[in-house]
Amino acid sequence: MTFNPLDILSPLAPETGRPLGAKAIVSGLPQGVGIFTADLRLCEWSQEFATLLQLQAEDLQAGIGCADLFRLAIRRGAFSPDDSESFCQYPVNQAMRGQFGHCDLLRADNHTLNIHSIPMVGGGFALICTDITERRANARNGQLSLKMFLHAPDGILFTDHDHHIIEANPASAQLTGYEPAELVGRTVFGLIDPASPEMLANMREHLAEHGRWDGEIELLDKSGDKIPVSAKATCVEDQQAGQPVNYIWLLADISERQWAEAQMRHITRHDTLTGLPNRAALAACLAELLPKAQERGQPMALLLLDLDRFKMVNDTLGHQVGDQMLCEIATRISRLLRETDYVARIGGDEFVIILPDITLPADAAAVANKIIAALAASIRVEHHELHTSPSIGISIFPGDGVAGDTLLMHADAAMYHAKASGRNTFQFFTAEMNRLTNERLEIERKLRHAIMRNELTLYYQPQFTADAGQPTGVEALLRWPHPVDGQIPPDRFIPVAEETGLIIEIGEWVLVTACHQMKRWLNAGLAPLRMAVNVSARQLRQRHFCEMVAGVLADSGLPPELLEIEITESSIMENPQETIGVLTRLCSMGVTLAIDDFGTGYSSLAYLKLFPLDHLKIDRSFVADIEHDLNDRAIAFGTIALAHSLNLKVIAEGVETEEQHKLLRANGCDEIQGYFLSRPLNSAAAFAFLHARCPAP
Ligand code: C2E
Ligand code: CA
Ligand code: CA
């Protein structure tokens, strides 16, 4: 009788006390088991054995040899060991030596099998095959997890269901200043800054409901300092009960990020020169304040402040002086505001002040007055004693607008009016200003069109000697016959052109057209006459203005002494230093110069001596009342006398009546211009008019 190895594998069944059937045992094991007899032939096997080795029913007949069994499996493609023959022989050899064998085998489908061969007393052996793919992966994952836990840069806390810490990694210790062992047993919520108990309650609630929470919180470290962290908590549920058993908390220190963000915010929200909030910050502040004011029914004031003639300081004394002056102004304004008020610098010399809790518009006026007073005292920068004044526009929320943009736009319109009404003052926004602003925008739009379509033309108004009534020249005057609106007077569109800078392009066109026109008239037989062209301050400031004039003269062939440039008194005074230079150059080119609208600015004649002028034009507003208003008459005649003492010739403009003409002539006025002798004429009419009176000799 041969020894049946199964005998020793047969324990007693607990119920019967009799040995269990070998088959039952083999099939009951979770591993794949194959039993081989002493002559190394298969005698018993479990289904799992067949499955793991990927053998089929017909392969597994009792009596097949162990090596053959493996060869069969290899042939079927289940495995491909490096040296298949020695692999197939390995368990057999071990068994014959009565030794345990053990190897891992990679199946073609990437499952790893662990195979043990166990020799049995009296010969024969058992092969026990286990699929260890998952166990291997788990072990690997476990190792990885541990590494991550130990070396992660962020704090990781592993807690029980009630957030008591079970394990804490080194990073969490570093973050909180506690040793890992000190952390164990504490609750995570105990580490969070309890500044907002509501928030903690919300977190707990959210975690209980959704099993996860993330957000930014502040931890309290061991020394009680706050540390901003981004926190993420995730629940690990008990798979059977579906109850949260553990939580994993990830805590990342964001103090550096927050610092960098704050720094960025500061930079993007502040003006580097004065340290005041900038335009972006102002917009954010308004976005925050306005809804609150709306809710509380609280009126608010927005003051837009623009410095008068700041550009002059910058241009004449340099940017450094200008910058220091701005800083001093920022300080003075900030000093007189209340804590709740807000001041921002939104452009070169533009400041915005928000008064969030005024009762009446008069409160805003009081602040505006205080600012005007504060800026009245001179400012010392280096060795300069500087003076400036503000023009302030005020808009009131909600009456003048409920949106920040609207309030700013309206304050701007009011500021513009403050400037126009003599500067160093403030103005409240009114509906009328709104209308004017809209009209200005409309004119700007149409003017751009007009330039593109060549709608602008020039008229020419003759000027005469006062005594003989002999033409001396013409003044070129812009005309804009709009196809729909009819004639748009220069007083309406020239200020817009000046503000928008369109005057540069238009002015150059005027100069070119006027010079060529006079040259054509000369060629057509007109005696040499002066062509007077109006030039705006903005044009004078153009860097290459003189070169442009020289170019036009050369191009047209007009003798320079026949060109007269008219500049208003106020535009000279805008920037006297720079203007002297430009006018001197023009003078040296042979061009003559007239000062326009004299009497409306605030210059003294003595000051004008510094400029190389030829003519002085008495403003038509003085001429208009010369017969009746003794004051105007005194100014007009006084001006004539003074001008003569400075060797300037005087032209009176706007002469409409014979009486005015006579009075002016009697008082020594040199030349006359006005409707009384001729209105402005189109080029053909002007030529006919002039040619009849002054043919070339
Ligand atoms: P302005 O330089 O003082 O020009 C004289 C203005 O007085 C002209 O008005 C002219 O038509 C008007 N005028 C002439 N005689 C009389 C008169 O007897 N009575 C009255 N009431 N007015 C008279 P206009 O053409 O409407 O021009 C107005 C202003 O527009 C000019 O004042 C000037 O400042 C500006 N302007 C006109 N053309 C140009 C230009 O080409 N360039 C620049 N920058 N400004 C121009
Ligand atoms: Ca003029
Ligand atoms: Ca004038």
Q: What is the 3-state secondary structure (H, E, C) of 346-405?
A: EECCEEEEEECCCCCHHHHHHHHHHHHHHHHCCEEECCEEECCCEEEEEEEECCCCCCHH
Question: Could you tell me the distance, in angstroms and rounded to a whole number, from the CA of residue 548 to the centre of ligand 1?
Answer: 23
- Closest ligand 1 atom to Cα of 676: 18
Ligand having the closest approach to the CA of 600: 3
User: Whose alpha carbon is nearest atom 6 of ligand 1?
Assistant: 654
Closest Cα to atom 20, ligand 1: which residue? 654
- Mutate which of 463, 494, 508, 566 for ligand 1? The one with the most ligand atoms within 8 Å of its CB, which is 494
| Nearest C-alpha neighbor of 663 from the set 463, 473, 466 | 466
Query: Cβ–Cβ contacts within 10 Å for residue 236, how many?
Result: 14
| Mean pLDDT over the full length of the chain | 89
Assign residue 633 a region (left: φ > 0; alpha: ψ between -120 and 50; beta: otherwise): alpha
CA–CA distance, 653 with 671 (Å, rounded to integer): 9
- Residue 375 pLDDT: 94
From the CA of 489, give the closest atom in ligand 1. Answer: 26
Q: Which two tokens stand for residue 413?
A: 């319109």
Closest residue CA from atom 3 of ligand 1: 597
Which-ligand-closest: CA of 654?
A: 1
Could you tell me if 200 and 194 are in contact, meaning their C-beta atoms sit under 8 angstroms apart? yes
- Count of CB atoms within 10 A of residue 354's CB? 23
- Positive or negative CA dihedral for 231, 237, 242, 244? negative
CA distance 538 to 570: 12
Could you tell me the distance, in angstroms and rounded to a whole number, from the CA of residue 306 to the centre of ligand 3? 28
**Ligand 1 atom 40, closest CA:** 534
The pLDDT score that the predictor gives to residue 18 is: 45
Q: Is 586 exposed, middle or buried (0-12, 13-18, 19+ CB in 10 A)?
A: buried
Pair 10, 19: CB distance under 8 Å? yes
- Measured between alpha carbons, how far is 469 from 674 in angstroms, rounded to an integer? 12
Ligand nearest to the CA of residue 656, numbered in listed order: 1
DSSP state of 224: S
Tell how far the Cα of 40 is from the centroid of ligand 3, in angstroms. 128
- Residue whose CA is at the smallest distance from ligand 1 atom 35: 490
Residues 6 or more apart in contact with residue 578 via CB below 8 angstroms: 315, 316, 540, 541
| Mutation to probe ligand 1, out of 499, 508, 534, 676 (largest number of atoms < 8 A from CB) | 534
Neighbouring residues of 645: CB distance < 8 A, sequence distance ≥ 6: none
CA distance 591 to 535: 13
Measured by CA distance, the residue closest to atom 19 of ligand 1 is: 654
Distance CA 685, CA 678 (A): 11
Q: From ligand 3's centre to the CA of 541, what distance in Å?
A: 20
Spans of the chain, pLDDT less than 70: 1-22, 242, 244, 601-606
Which residue, by CA, sits nearest to atom 22 of ligand 1?
654
Angle ∠(371,373,379) on CA atoms, nearest 5:
95
Whether 687 contacts 526, CB under 8 Å = yes
Give bridge partners of residue 213 from the DSSP assignment: 233
Atom of ligand 1 nearest to the CA of 497: 44
Q: Which residues line ligand 1 (CB under 6 A)?
A: 461, 476-478, 489-491, 494, 507, 510, 534-536, 596-597, 620, 653-656, 674-675, 680
How far, in Å, is the centroid of ligand 1 from the Cα of 598? Answer: 13
If you measure from the C-alpha of residue 461 to the centroid of ligand 2, how many angstroms do you get, rounded to a whole number?
10
Output the CA 595–ligand 3 centroid distance in Å. Answer: 9
Nearest ligand to the CA atom of 463: 1
Expressed in angstroms and rounded, the spacing between residue 384 Cα and the centre of ligand 3 is 35
Full DSSP string of 334-349: HHHS-TT-EEEEEETT
The alpha carbon of 678 and the centre of ligand 3 are apart by a number of angstroms equal to: 16
Q: How far is the CA of 646 from the centre of ligand 1 (A)?
A: 26
